[in-house]
Amino acid sequence: MSDMPTGLNDSPQNIVQRLTRVARERMNNQNNSGISKSARAILAKNLLRLRKAHGYGQQELADLSGLSKSFIGGLENARMNVSLDNLESLSRVLGVEVFVLLIPPDDPDPDK
């Protein structure tokens, strides 16, 4: 996947395209034993990337989604559980389908 840029500077469209492509490849691959990250960790990474790609701070995302800043921070640090209603609010603000927030990234930690 080296043809697609990774990291916090990606546009939301690039992130969605990349994550969707990864999900399709993984669904087509019968051996998914390499995927071991928790859903919380996956959501944390994707939420952070998409928030930064939109240029939102945590407070701005909180205001736009109707959630608290501390809750957004807790999600981005994989400390908080999230309801489907809250996932829908976040996905609406970030302009992606809910499932995109839960697609495991193909790169373990591109931001380091």
pLDDT score recorded for residue 11: 86
What average pLDDT values come out for the chain (112 residues) when binned by 10 residues?
52 83 68 64 95 97 98 96 96 96 72 44
Which residue's structure tokens are 């990234």? 105
